[in-house]
Amino acid sequence: MAAMTLRHMVSIASALGLVICLVPLTALAQSRITVLITMPTPATAEFTDRLRNELDRASGLKVNVVTEEMLSADRDSLNDDSLVVAVGVQALLQASKLDPRRSVLGVLVPQPSFDKILVDSRRNPRYFSAVFLDQPYPRQIALIKSILPKVSNLGVLFGPTSLQSSYLLQQASQASNLTLIQENIYATDELVTKLRRSLETSAVLLAVPDPLVYNRETAQSILLTSYRYQKPVIGFSQAYVRAGALAAVYSTPQQIARQTAEIIRQHLNKPQTGLPPPQSPKYFSVDVNRQVARSLGIEISDENALSDSLQRIERPLP
Amino acid sequence: MNILGIKSRVLFLAIIPAMMIAILLTTYSIQNSISVMNVALHERGRVIASQLAPASEYGVVAGNYAILQPLVQQVMSHESDILSVLVTDYAGRTLAVSGKPVPEHILQEKSTGLMEWDLGETLVFTSPIMRSLIELDDYSLAPSAALANSVNRDNRIGQVYVVLSTNRLMHLKSSLILHNLLIVIIGLLVSGFMAWRIGRGITFPIETMALAVKRLGEGQFGMRIPETSAGELQTLQRGFNTMAGQIKEAHDEMQQRINEATRQLRHQAHHDDLTGLCNRREFERRLERVLKSAQEHGTHHVFCYMDLDQFKIVNDTCGHHAGDDLLRQISLLLNNRVRDRDTLARLGGDEFGLLLENCAVSDAFIIAEELREMVQDFRYIHQDKMFTIGVSIGMVAITPDFNNIGSIMSAADTACYAAKDNGRNRIHLFQALDEDVAKRHGEMEWVGRITQAMEDNQFCLFCQPILPIASVDDQQRYFEILLRKRDADGKLVPPMAFIPAAERYDLMISIDRWVIRNTMANYRQLLDNNHNQSDCVFTINLSGVSLNDHSLLGFIHEQLTIFAVPPQSICFEITETSAIVNLGNTMELMFALKKLGCRFLLDDFGSGMSSFAYLKNLPVDFLKMDGAYVKDIASNSIDLAMVQSIHSIAEAMHIKTIAEFVESAEVVELLQSIGVHYGQGFHLGRPVPIAQIIDNLRVE
């Protein structure tokens, strides 16, 4: 862990060093990638390292890391023609305020947040795209089908934000012959009542990201209530699995970085076409809480096997 | 503190520090325990409240109140001190409750953290039920909350109240205090007992010593204490014993001396200092007892009153020491002879008393006679002088007739006088008739009688010739003038019948003067008859008292003048014993009379102390040898030798010798052979009335 931390710190330092050295040479750089971060975190470091590795190995592209702080201090520190990769909602919001001609790719951003920023900034979607944090519903349905093959219905609590994409889930569940038991929540007060109602009938609760429904404060109540009803919860992040969800499909920063690098290379090859449309994570992992599984009496196969099985469903072997 | 005994002090010494330590420790421990208990109770309250709060979170958040009630009940049942437990929602609505209601005013309080109230008998703790925050997003850089409409809400979703009772704590506190006090008291009692036990090792010997000292002070000198202790105490004990021993020794010695002194005092009270015999008082006491015995039981006792003759001479001649010595010797002598049960006492001066108890008069006579002879045979020798003593004994048979011892003493006195009257050195038994005699013998009686006798010419002069034996060229004829008394019947009374009385009542000077005057008168008659011429020499006896009479010289001179008697015709006879009573006066008188022409004759030479030394000093012309030697010279060679030696000495000093008691021709012959110049005695001439001699010498 310490080595990791040290390594990250070295990377960050070198990145910062690069930024400082290259600023006077911006005119010379034809294709540069600037990673905008709110502040250095292990996740950003993981992302940046992987991204740099991917790009350098393939095309010798240099990655420049800039924090919001540095950006606000010197707006000219960004090259006019460089691609900005904004890590996180906050960084994306910041990047949206840059020159509209500049290409911005948001990563590690929930789809609703991206949509909102895109609308608010009125930027051209050709130069403002993202790799979402959210896993596509079919993938999640596939996970449920993999670990709980016998379930026939599925409980979902939608909040105001997540409700916009509820039709996607409905489609996905229908495709998998699952009955979607949907509860819409518009205020925190309704949570417990609607959660109980949902749990009374549904076999499994699928958590979809929504700040109103699934936040730090409600997490325990939802998990405990589900547990009391002996109904598993399928989370949307690794943290959710650690907190007590039965399983989750998610993407790590490295997986996102790999996907990001592919997008960047593709974009640099054909700059005139602009950025590809926003897309869900291409690479993902599955995590299972074995303790919860044991408590609920559910037999689950290996995470890698699950992951591979999901991969095969999405991209059948040629 | 000063009024406490040593035992109490030792006890205090042990207990007070222990008590102070115990009190301090107990106070500290109680305070500490109480504070710990207080803290513990508060801690428990806080722990219960703070643990119950998260435990209730799910029930409150999930609205699952059914699970809250058992939780509350469980808390209640597990903790005995809990009075009530209350869980409310954020609005204060009761969700679950157990036990008594929580005070209203506390429910009004909105707490953000753990709070507590101390209401005296109860402690109330409250803790907010906070919503748990669990991170669901993998990347904090993409918080969904950041875009959410939700504002930063109050995470307090409810409140937990726990009410604890302090009753049990109070009870614990009071029991703690009680137990501590009990332990302190028991500890003090135990330490007191131990101090008492240990202290006894110190106090017991000291108390024993104190008691012993007290006893010693009260006079129990035999007091000793066992030397059982060690160290200083043993030194004290040993010291006490040594001291007590010395005190006892000193006390015993003192007591012995006191006893001795007391015994001496008692002895002195009852005995005579000089002789060691009973004294008069003791004698009278015994006499009284004896009289009583006689009166009550009719027993027979005899009382002898003994008066030494000639004692006065020894006393006067040799001094009081000699007199005392004589008395001692006589006492010893007499005391050796009396029976054990008899009492010999010195009644005063030269008077002794002998009480013969349970003794018949006849036996008393034998004893008294024995004593008398013993005294008679006794010779007292002082320096070169020898004295013969006699004793006159008045004997009284103690009969119930006597009223008191005074009358007995009086009777004995009378009898003793009678013995003296009868010629001394004899025994006189008191007769009732003697009373009258005694009366006549009274002082005034005698003075009167002797004076009367002199006036009535009841006295008369006799004379006895002193004749030459050996060839002496002396033409003078010597006659010794003798005094006789003629009683009413015309019977002659020997001088020894009245001389002692006369001596006693100082009548001798008168008698002597009567003799001198009448002798002078007779010589005048003789001269008148013979034409104023006579070759007769009259020898007149002078008593010792007269020799001391300074006026005697003048009287003689006057009489010689009155009767115109040639002093050469008068010769004075003096005895050694009377002469030496006051030798100075005697010599003075003798020289004065010799100057006149009178001559002197030393009478009874050899009878008493008879020192030849006096012969050198006394200007005597004649020496009359004691009759005791003379009368037996025919049969006793010692007496003869004495006479021979006296004569030869006298002759050497040119003193003529006279032998008296010449009662036979044989004696005359012997005297002649010795060369004694003159003789006197019945053989040579009996005493005849002077008138007869004067008639015979009338010149025809």
Per-residue model confidence as pLDDT tens digits over B173-214: 889 889 888 988 898 888 888 888 887 777 788 888 888 888
Q: Is pLDDT larger for residue B602 or for residue B58?
A: B602
* pLDDT tens string B424-464: 888 888 887 665 555 555 555 666 777 778 777 788 899 99
Which 8-state DSSP code applies to residue B303? E
Tell me the backbone φ, ψ of residue B648, rounded to 5 degrees.
-65, -35
Q: How far is CA B115 from CA B90, B125, B659, in A?
A: 16, 6, 164
Reply yes or no on whether the pLDDT at B262 is more than 60.
yes
Q: Which of A65, A114, A194, A217 to mutate to test the interface with B (most CBs of B within 10 A)?
A: A217
Tell me the backbone φ, ψ of residue B104, rounded to 5 degrees.
-60, -40
Cβ–Cβ of B139/A108 closer than 8 Å? yes
Q: Looking at beta carbons, which residues of chain B come within 8 Å of A219?
A: 132-136
**What's residue B441's pLDDT?**
53
Fold of B277-441: Alpha-Beta Plaits (3.30.70)
**What's residue B272's pLDDT?**
86
Tell me the backbone φ, ψ of residue B572, rounded to 5 degrees.
-100, 130
Q: Which of B144, B151, B155, B157 to mutate to test the interface with A (most CBs of A within 10 A)?
A: B144
Q: Looking at beta carbons, which residues of chain B come within 8 Å of A112?
A: 147
Which 8-state DSSP code applies to residue A188? T
Q: Looking at beta carbons, which residues of chain B come within 8 Å of A224?
A: 58, 62
Option in A109, A224, A238 nearest B142 (CB): A109
Reply yes or no on whether the pLDDT at B69 is more than 50.
yes
Cβ–Cβ of B146/A112 closer than 8 Å? no
* pLDDT tens string B390-418: 899 999 988 888 888 888 888 888 888 88
Cβ–Cβ of B62/A192 closer than 8 Å? yes
Average pLDDT value for residue range B262-282: 86
Q: Looking at beta carbons, which residues of chain B come within 8 Å of A237?
A: 136-138
Cβ–Cβ of B138/A161 closer than 8 Å? no
Contacts 24+ apart (CB under 8 A), B357-362: B357/B290, B357/B293, B357/B299, B357/B301, B358/B299, B358/B300, B358/B301, B359/B300, B359/B301, B359/B302, B360/B300, B360/B302, B361/B300, B361/B302, B361/B395, B361/B397, B361/B429
Tell me the backbone φ, ψ of residue B398, rounded to 5 degrees.
-80, 115
Which among B437, B297, B273 is positioned nearest to B357, based on CA atoms? B297
**What's residue A80's pLDDT?**
62
Give the residue carrying structure tokens 């009366």: B439
Q: Indicate the domain borders of chain A.
A: 2-132+253-273, 137-250+284-314
Helix (H) / strand (E) element for B100: namely none
Same fold, A2-132+253-273 and A137-250+284-314: yes
**B566 exposure class (CB count in 10 Å sphere: 0-12, 13-18, 19+):** middle
Q: Which band of pLDDT confidence, cut at 50, 70 and 90, is reported for residue B609?
A: low
**What's residue B482's pLDDT?**
92
Cβ–Cβ of A211/B148 closer than 8 Å? yes
* pLDDT tens string B549-572: 888 999 999 999 999 999 999 999
Q: Are strands B688-689 and B678-679 parallel, antiparallel or unpaired?
A: unpaired
SS3 at position B92: coil
The answer to whether residues B485 and B458 touch, using CB atoms and an 8 Å cutoff, is: yes
**Taking every pair of C-alpha atoms in chain B, what is the biggest distance, in angstroms?**
222
The answer to whether residues B123 and B117 touch, using CB atoms and an 8 Å cutoff, is: yes
Q: Which CATH superfamily is domain A2-132+253-273 in?
A: Response regulator (3.40.50.2300)
The answer to whether residues B15 and B196 touch, using CB atoms and an 8 Å cutoff, is: no
**What's residue B569's pLDDT?**
92
Give the residue carrying structure tokens 């949907």: A182
Q: Which residue of A has its CA nearest to B150?
A: A212
Option in A188, A214, A228 nearest B136 (CB): A214
Kindly report the CATH number that applies to the domain delimited by B446-696.
3.20.20.450
Q: Name the minimum distance, in Å, from the CA of B104 to any CA of chain A.
A: 28
- Contacting A residues, span 189-208, partner chain B, CB-CB under 8 Å: 192-193, 207
The ipTM is 0.71
Reply yes or no on whether the pLDDT at B147 is more than 50.
no
**What's residue A25's pLDDT?**
39
Q: Is A161 on the interface with B (CB under 8 A)?
A: yes
Q: Which residue of B has its CA nearest to A89?
A: B142
**Which tokens in the block code for residue A198?**
């949902």
**Taking every pair of C-alpha atoms in chain A, what is the biggest distance, in angstroms?**
64
Kindly report the CATH number that applies to the domain delimited by A137-250+284-314.
3.40.50.2300
Which 8-state DSSP code applies to residue A163? G
CA A202, distance to chain mean position in Å, is 27
CA B308, distance to chain mean position in Å, is 35
Torsion-angle region of B23 (φ positive above 0: left; ψ -120 to 50: alpha; else: beta): alpha
DSSP A263-285: HHHHHHHSGGG-PPPPB--SS-E
Cβ–Cβ of B141/A37 closer than 8 Å? yes
Option in A225, A239, A244 nearest B137 (CB): A239
**What's residue B339's pLDDT?**
82
Cβ–Cβ of B134/A223 closer than 8 Å? yes
The answer to whether residues B343 and B279 touch, using CB atoms and an 8 Å cutoff, is: no
Q: Which of A191, A216, A226, A289 to mutate to test the interface with B (most CBs of B within 10 A)?
A: A216
**What's residue B699's pLDDT?**
65
Q: Which residue of B has its CA nearest to A40?
A: B141
**Which tokens in the block code for residue B23?**
């009190």
Q: Is A160 on the interface with B (CB under 8 A)?
A: yes
Q: Is A253 on the interface with B (CB under 8 A)?
A: yes
Side-chain-side CA neighbours of B320 within 13 Å: the count stands at 2
Which 8-state DSSP code applies to residue B633? T
Provide residues of B within 8 Å CB-CB of chain A: 57-58, 61-64, 131-150, 153, 155
Q: Write the CB contacts of A313 (distance below 8 Å, at least 6 apart in sequence).
A: A142
* pLDDT tens string B471-505: 777 788 999 999 988 877 778 877 777 777 777 67
Q: Among A35-44, A65-74, B373-382, B605-614, whose mean pLDDT is lowest?
A: B605-614
Fold of B1-131+154-218: Beta-Lactamase (3.30.450)
pLDDT tens track, chain A, 318 positions: 444 455 565 555 555 544 444 443 333 334 678 899 988 888 899 999 999 888 887 677 778 888 888 877 766 666 666 789 999 988 999 889 888 888 899 999 988 889 889 999 999 888 899 999 999 999 999 999 999 999 999 999 999 988 988 999 999 999 999 999 999 999 988 888 899 999 999 999 999 988 888 888 888 889 988 988 999 999 999 999 999 999 999 999 999 999 999 999 888 888 788 889 999 999 999 999 999 999 999 998 888 989 998 888 887 655
Q: Are strands B459-468 and B477-486 parallel, antiparallel or unpaired?
A: antiparallel
Cβ–Cβ of B144/A113 closer than 8 Å? yes
Reply yes or no on whether the pLDDT at B381 is more than 60.
yes
Q: Which residue of A has its CA nearest to B141?
A: A88
**Which tokens in the block code for residue B424?**
């001394």
**What's residue A20's pLDDT?**
46
Average pLDDT, chain B: 84
**What's residue B438's pLDDT?**
55
Option in B63, B134, B148 nearest A212 (CB): B148
The answer to whether residues B389 and B330 touch, using CB atoms and an 8 Å cutoff, is: yes
> How big is chain B, counted in residues?
700
**Which tokens in the block code for residue B547?**
């020799």
Cβ–Cβ of B136/A243 closer than 8 Å? yes
**What's residue A30's pLDDT?**
41
Reply yes or no on whether the pLDDT at B378 is more than 90.
no
Tell me the backbone φ, ψ of residue B98, rounded to 5 degrees.
-145, 140
Number of helical (H) and strand (E) elements in chain B, helices listed first: 23, 22
Q: Which band of pLDDT confidence, cut at 50, 70 and 90, is reported for residue B315?
A: confident
Q: Which band of pLDDT confidence, cut at 50, 70 and 90, is reported for residue B141?
A: low
Average pLDDT value for residue range B224-237: 85
